[in-house]
Structure 1
Amino acid sequence: MEILFSHLNFPAQFGAFGAYLARQGWSVTFVTEREGVTPPSGCRVLRMTPHRAPTEGVHRFARPLEGAMINGQAFANAALAAQRKGLSPDIVVAHSGWGAGTFAKAVWPRVKYVSYVEWYYRHPPVDAVGAVPGGNDPDGRALALARNAPTLMDLAEADLVLCPTRFQADQFPGWMRDRITVLHDGVDTDFFTPDPGARPDVPGVALPDDAEIVSYATRGMEPTRGFPEFMRAVAVLQARRPRLHVVIGGQDRVAYGAQPTDGKGWKARMLDELDLDETRLHWPGLLPRRPWRTLLQATHVHVYLTVPFVLSWSMIEAMAAGAPLVVSDCAPVREAVVPGISAEMVDHRDPEALASAIARLLDDRARAARLGQGARAAAARLFAASSIYPAKARLLGDLVR
């Protein structure tokens, strides 16, 4: 079987699964905009290069669609060049919404096209940070509909639509949901495992032997992932717990949500706002895979916060490592954990309540251990790549056959 994955980034959601398929004897190609990437063993990578940015001054409703069409043209050009050299995939799997594979059937009319969808924009947005003004907002509704146009084009061509969680699939209109197969990307629960004797091995971070370790990780430090509320809770905890040390993985940027208008990132804002002991705050940046695992194995409490939005792999990896979890009480998180069984759940908009939830697990290590065991069991049952990858391979094989 010959399969092509297309995503603006790499490896993104497809890298590990593509490597698995290659080990099963599939011919695997990745197409990406990213430069300088090394393909997994047995795979190859092709680059797509957009020839220009969206037009300056184009109607703001049309800008996302024009960007996706430029990306789609870049994909098609790369695909045509590869076709002339003999590439003829049975299946193209593309990350929808950005044009990454929209024109796959223009190049290979008989190919089976799989649309991987992550989000459908609505108004008022379910992932809003803070209150949304009531009443009808024609401009907001129109913009949300226009942002969905690239995804709708992909759905029109798709032979199969994949979505990683039920919460994400439920954002789509009812008539579309019937076409969506919910199947998670899969997490390597054979790598992310509990180790009660682990000590953090995080570059640049030295922790005292008696430290109470609280961890938090995010691609970007932003309100969508509860970063300001977490830092306010840390200020409360630092004032009460002199042995508390907090390790915050991620980059000082906004990955999701609106960019700050004053040019100041949320890390700087929180350090200005709060009276914090910075000697007990540790900022290792984006963590490599093994140090990230040891942090999760050794942490006394791992905190995962989010508004109702795409569920992060980081939370599931923390579950698999058996980390005691304090998490946001919202729909996508409840799809993965059960309050009191596999996590402590809290309305993270209340920093005092968040601090209290963290303190309870720091004080009750037996309860923390039980929650960690429950989280590990849920991760192995719901998200293990060792069961999801074979199921997804069968699904794709059946699509062709």
Structure 2
Amino acid sequence: MKILLIHQNFPGQYKHLAPALVAQGHEVVALTCKVKQATTWQGVKVIPYEIKGASTPKIHPWLSDFETKLLRATSCYRGAAALKKMGFEPDVICAHHGWGESMFLKDIWPNARLGLYCELYHLTGKDYLNFDPEFPSKNPEADRLRIRMKNMNNRLHEEVMDAGLSPTQFQADTFPDRWKSRITVAHDGIDTDLVCPNPTATLKISDDLTLSRDDEVITFINRNLEPYRGYHIFMRALPEILKKRPNAHVVLLGGDEVSYGAKAPKGQTWKQIYIDEVRGRISTPNWNRVHFMGRVPYETYLSMVQVSRAHVYLTYPFVLSWSLLESMSAGCAILASDTAPVREVMTENETGWMVDFFDKDALTDRLCELLEDADTRQRMGENAREFVRTKYDLQSICLPQHLEWVEKLAQLDTRPVLD
């Protein structure tokens, strides 16, 4: 079988699936804007395409997001047309359509089956658009109209999608009913052999400080430190946490940019905004126990969760972070927000503790309680790891599900492109 993979940051979600498909004997090609020259990665032929065009100045703000996706779609279309001229005819196309790239690929290959990575459908309910009252909508009466436009990329893909894949039930449930019969829920998978407890793990903070399991380490991980992942709530709890836990080291991982939600006010970062908000209430000796790691290699991140005595994970009702399941796989004792995506993978007092997302005082109290209770930490950490091993293990559970999904996708009747 000939399989085409589309991802703007290849391999992305196809990191494990792509080599597994090669191992099964399939011809696998990836089309991506990430590389400049054709190359090979784990048996996958990686072909570049160039994004051409630029966003229109002063375009209507509701159209700017879609125009960016349209530029990627037309650029990818040209790359696909060139690939077709080289004689490549895929049986199956697997695409993360979130950036728009796969919008017109069935116009190139109408007989190919298109399988989409269905990450999220944008919703306007209070648990989605206005979950956090600190950041209210600037124009609430127009929200439904704006979000409908934001979903234009999703809607155009739905017309040609033969099958979809969502990593969690929460994410699948954001999609309209007309999608759901075509969406399979299967997580990307956690390498539980790699992400495992390590009693001898150490985390180098600086030349003068290396932390181990003997230290009281509180961890907090975001791709970028921002409100969608509760960074503001955690920072507001930090002064009391440091006062009540005089021996604790707090280690935060994450960049200064924005992955989700609104950008910080011009010239600022969310990271610094909340540092400035709480720094006056934290003494210098206490502040010296707070360590911002920025973005680090995966090996450092893994050491971080392995030395963690208590891991805090907060999120809006949104896409679930890999870091939560990986922390569970590492046997962390976890204190998380009581929000829908977390409740799908955690059970209160069995695999972790949960608190109201906005209640910084409850977060402080329960975190301190957890740090005092070694037996509970061990019990929940062991349960969390076992849960991930039995439900989300990469090799025994999730990768076989993905491979089966591709096989079934190849057998479907293809949906035609509509005028």
TM-score range for the pair, normalised by the shorter chain length: over 0.9
Residue matched to 1:197: 200
Residue matched to 2:172: 169
The normalised TM-score by structure 1 is 0.94
Residue matched to 1:395: 405
- The CA deviation at 1:288 is 1.6
In the TM superposition, what are the counterparts of 1:322-361 in structure 2 within 5 Å? 322-361=331-370
Residue among 223, 230, 233 paired with 2:237: 233
In the TM superposition, what are the counterparts of 1:1-400 in structure 2 within 5 Å? 1-35=1-35, 40-124=41-125, 126-127=127-128, 128-131=130-133, 137-201=140-204, 206-207=209-210, 211-274=215-278, 275-276=281-282, 277-386=286-395, 387-400=397-410
DSSP 3-state at the match of 1:327 = strand
Query: In 1, distance between residues paired with 2:182 and 2:368?
Result: 44
The normalised TM-score by structure 2 is 0.90
- The CA deviation at 1:312 is 0.5
Deviations 1:92-119 (A, max 9, x none): 1111232121111111111110121111
1:205–1:341: structure 2 CA closer, same or farther, 3 Å change rule? farther
DSSP 3-state at the match of 1:285 = coil
Percent of aligned positions that are identical: 34
Gaps of 5+ in 1: none
- The CA deviation at 1:39 is 5.3
Query: In 2, distance between residues paired with 1:36 and 1:103?
Result: 22
| Matched positions, count | 400
Query: In 2, distance between residues paired with 1:382 and 1:205?
Result: 40
Query: In 2, distance between residues paired with 1:121 and 1:108?
Result: 28
DSSP 3-state at the match of 1:246 = strand
Q: Which stretch of structure 1 is more off in the superposition, 273-282 or 300-309?
A: 273-282
Query: In 2, distance between residues paired with 1:303 and 1:248?
Result: 10
- The CA deviation at 1:21 is 1.9
Deviations 1:203-225 (A, max 9, x none): 76824565310111111111100
- The CA deviation at 1:36 is 6.0
- The CA deviation at 1:180 is 1.8
Higher relative contact order (CA 8 A, sep 6+): 2
- The CA deviation at 1:201 is 4.7
Deviations 1:61-83 (A, max 9, x none): 22222222211111111111122
Matched-pair contact (CA < 8 Å) for 2:16–2:399:
no
Query: In 2, distance between residues paired with 1:300 and 1:188?
Result: 21
DSSP 3-state at the match of 2:99 = coil
CA RMSD of aligned residues (A): 2.1
Q: What one-letter code is carried by the residue in structure 2 that aligns with 1:291?
A: T
Q: What one-letter code is carried by the residue in structure 2 that aligns with 1:398?
A: K
1:40–1:324: structure 2 CA closer, same or farther, 3 Å change rule? farther
DSSP 3-state at the match of 1:282 = strand
Deviations 1:172-225 (A, max 9, x none): 222332222211111212211122332335676824565310111111111100
Query: In 1, distance between residues paired with 2:61 and 2:266?
Result: 22
Query: In 2, distance between residues paired with 1:185 and 1:200?
Result: 27
Query: In 2, distance between residues paired with 1:22 and 1:302?
Result: 37
Q: What one-letter code is carried by the residue in structure 1 that aligns with 2:144?
A: R
